[in-house]
Every structure is written in structure tokens, then in C-alpha cells.
Amino acid sequence: MGAGIGGANIKKTIYYLQRNGVRKTWNAVRERLEARNAPPYVWTPPSKEELERQRGQWRQEGLSVSFSIVVPAYRTREEYLLEMAGSVLNQTYPQWELILADATEDDSVERAMGAVQDSRIRYVRLEKNQGIAQNTNKALALATGEYVGLLDHDDLLTHDALYEMAAAINRGRKEGREPEMLYSDEDKCDGEGKLFFEPNSKEDFNLDLLLSNNYICHFLVMKRELMQSLGFRPEYDGAQDFDLVLRGAGRLLEKEGSIVHVPKVLYHWRSHAASTAENPRSKLYAYEAGRRAIQDFADARGWRAKAEDTAHVGFYVLRYEGDIFLERPDIGAVGGRLLQKGRVAGGRLTEEGKVLYGGLPKGYSGYLHRAALPQDAAAVDIRNIRVRPECRELFERVAGVPYRTVLQGERFDVSYLPKDCDYIEISLRLGRALREAGYRILYLPEA
């Protein structure tokens, strides 16, 4: 990945060692080295033919959404600034405005933007630098689009980013849903914007994964009225987007179809020497603010829980003080992983019955550390499950056996099931029944 990226990995390893000790660091290094054997990531942009089709047919497809792209700028390098603006100018979907709020002390950004001529670009010179949240609020207040998208001053949108967002909004409306918060997949690029790496292929909305890490991140688009009513809170500078997403998700939890994942890479996060993407210690305050944002989410719901750091910077866990079923009335069951011969053999299941993270060695955290994080699940393996007391009658109807627990615990005693039963099939039926009853199923890897 080049000398700069390699240097960043060394920094990350040293910092990891300082925080977590030799054994965990050894596992992390082994996992990283083994990951090098995976096929290299190649970002494939849409073909020229597809981009031309989008430019020519968006109107015929009934796309009529307007976007405001909000960019807070501060001492931005000219080449990064122009490339960012160019990525907006080259959008195949034309109904946008770019609002750039500049807090730079001199006129370097203003002079650079003077070379970019387009009536849809609105440059605003701020009187002083008030921090990323307040600077963004200044730009947000000027937005007139139906939806607002967030773009960092040195990052890049793919040329089809707004088209894909408009299409997703249109699809939702045709299905009788009103998307209010949308997010896409993303990757990183080097300082030159030529080499792409570390793709983030995201899940559809997953509340408890979000409470572990801001997996939503970029490209984020939100209904203008919603974003303006939430605003960015300066006390969460560095994690202001995460705080915004958590509060937005909190408002939308009961609105089915209002949070939409667009499963395409639409955003390139530039990784250079000064960026958080490359240097995990460059903005430790951002990770501390992220932890506080999660704590605020829990406190606002009256959960007795403490947000804590995990072994991985920027990843968190909520530790519940009491029984999780008392703190979280939305949780119907909690499941953990099963290990066989030191590898994951059961735990979180997809709706098709696949064991997510299956085969991963104990001590490894998996792709983007997700195997080590709390997360919502379609189903969990019945051989390592706790079921909410109010849901145990439902459990017994599905499983066909009484809910009996192991000694000195609440976990289901799997010995009550017939030896030749299909554990996966029963787990899936139970998962469907719990979700149809309105409950979440929480996967806690270490449970």
C-alpha cells in the first residue's frame, strides 16, 4: 500500500501494544498478516456508458430530489480542495448545491475556490474558526436542498453518489416509505486519490453495531429538516458526525424504512499523514467524544450502562449494570459464540442459516473488528442463548421443549433438546418468531 500506509500500520501496532499487551497484539499482528493473503481490493468505478445513461435518464426515471452538500473547510490544501469540488461538479445527477464554510485565517481557500465557477457552489467565509461542529452548523443553516449530504474538505464522492442516493429515495417512496437517513459503503484512498484500499462494506441498519462503532460514517445523507433540527454539538467535536447519526437513529427507530443502506462505494476517504484515517493517535479526542456520544444515547433511554473502549481504537462496548433484559425492553434474546478447536463454530446466524464469522480463530476480531463487537442478529445459535423471561413461552412453542437453564445461570440448557435435532433450523425459527413479536436479538461474542 506504499510507504506512508505501511508507516501508519507500524504506528497502529505500537499503540495497540501499549494499550492491550503482548498476547492481544500478537493475535492482531497474525490476523493482519494473514489478511494479506486475501485477494487485493480493486475499486471499479461505474462504466462511462453507465455514467452517461445516468446523466441522460435521471429525469425520465422520476428523480427529483435536491441535495445540499455541506463542506466545512479549514486550511485545506489546494489540490485536495479542488479535487473534492471536482468530485461534486462531476456528479451525474445535477440537482445539488455545494456549501463550503471556510474558517481558514487567510484567503488561501477562497482564492483556490475562485478558480471553480459554477452557480451551484456557495462559498461562505466564516468570521472565526469555532470548531468542526459549529463551522458545519454555519453551512447547514444555509442549506436549501431536500436532503443534506456531508463531505469532508479533502475527501471525494464517486461520480454516481447523488444519483444512487436519489434513486434509493425514489424507490423508498414508491414502496410507501420515506427515507430520512441514508448511507453508503465507502473505502479509503491515498493522498494522491489514486490508490484505493480498506473497503467498508456495511450492513443494513444495525442498532447495536452502531452502538459499538460508527459503521455508518460516509457517505451520509439526511433529510434537511431532520439534520437542521438535530444540529452538530460542539462538545462532541471530532465525533460530531457519530453523535448526529446516533441521535438521528434514535428519532427514526420506530419509522420502518426510514434508515436506508445503499450497498455501493460512493465515498473515498482520503488517508494522508495528518488524517485520522491513517494515524489513530492524531485525534484521540475524537474517539473519546465517540464514547461519550454512545453514553449519551444510553443515558437518554434510561439504560444503566457504561460505554467503554475495546481493544480497538474507535470501537466500543456498552456494559450493562443490571440484567440486560431489565435495561433493554427491546431485547428478546442474547446469544454468544460457540468455539470448536479454537475456532468459531456457531453464534450469529444469517436468515439463511450461515454462521457469521465461522472458522475465525479465537482471539481474532475479523473484518473491521465486527466479529468482536455486539450487534443485532437475525438469529443466534440456540446452543448458547439466553431468552427474555416474557419470551420463554414463545421459546417453548418453537423449540418444543421447556426452557430450562444451566446451573447458576440463565442460559438455556441445550441438553433438553433431542440429540439428533437440527440446531440451526430451530435457531432460525426462534429468531423469526422473536423478530415478528417485535424484539431484537443481540449477539454478544463473549457471552
What is the average pLDDT score of the chain?
A: 92
Return d(Cα 138, Cα 149) in angstroms, integer: 15
Percent of the chain exceeding pLDDT 70 equals 92
pLDDT at site 8: 57
Higher pLDDT, 409 or 441: 441
Grid cell in block for residue 207: 442498532
Return d(Cα 228, Cα 244) in angstroms, integer: 10
User: Is pTM, for the whole model, over 0.85?
Assistant: yes
Return d(Cα 122, Cα 98) in angstroms, integer: 6
- Mean pLDDT throughout 353-358? 96
Grid cell in block for residue 318: 456498552
Q: What confidence category does residue 10 fall into, taking pLDDT thresholds of 50, 70 and 90?
A: low
Amino acid letter, residue 235: E
Is 47:31 a contact under the CB 8 Å cutoff? no
Radius of gyration for the chain, computed over Cα atoms and rounded to the nearest angstrom? 23
Q: What confidence category does residue 7 fall into, taking pLDDT thresholds of 50, 70 and 90?
A: low
Cross-strand partners of 355: 349
Render pLDDT for 137-169 as a digit per residue (tens, 0 to 9): 999 999 999 999 999 999 999 999 999 999 999
Task: Using DSSP bridges, classify how beta strands 305-309 and 196-200 pair: parallel, antiparallel or unpaired.
Answer: unpaired
Q: What confidence category does residue 407 fall into, taking pLDDT thresholds of 50, 70 and 90?
A: confident
Is 102:114 a contact under the CB 8 Å cutoff? no
Q: In sequence order, what are the residues at sequence separation of 6 or more whose Cβ sits closer than 8 angstroms to the Cβ of residue 48? A: none
Q: Look at residue 278 and tell me whether its pLDDT is greater than 60.
A: no
Render pLDDT for 379-396 as a digit per residue (tens, 0 to 9): 999 999 999 999 999 999
Q: In sequence order, what are the residues at sequence separation of 6 or more whose Cβ sits closer than 8 angstroms to the Cβ of residue 240? A: 132, 133, 136, 232, 233, 234, 289
Return d(Cα 8, Cα 199) in angstroms, integer: 17
Q: Residue 182, Cβ neighbours under 10 Å: how many? A: 25
Q: Look at residue 204 and tell me whether its pLDDT is greater than 90.
A: yes
Return d(Cα 358, Cα 212) in angstroms, integer: 21
Render pLDDT for 27-40 as a digit per residue (tens, 0 to 9): 667 767 777 778 89
Return d(Cα 153, Cα 272) in angstroms, integer: 13
- Mean pLDDT throughout 327-349? 96
Q: Residue 10, Cβ neighbours under 10 Å: how many? A: 9
Q: What confidence category does residue 279 fall into, taking pLDDT thresholds of 50, 70 and 90?
A: low
Render pLDDT for 413-435 as a digit per residue (tens, 0 to 9): 999 999 899 999 999 999 999 99
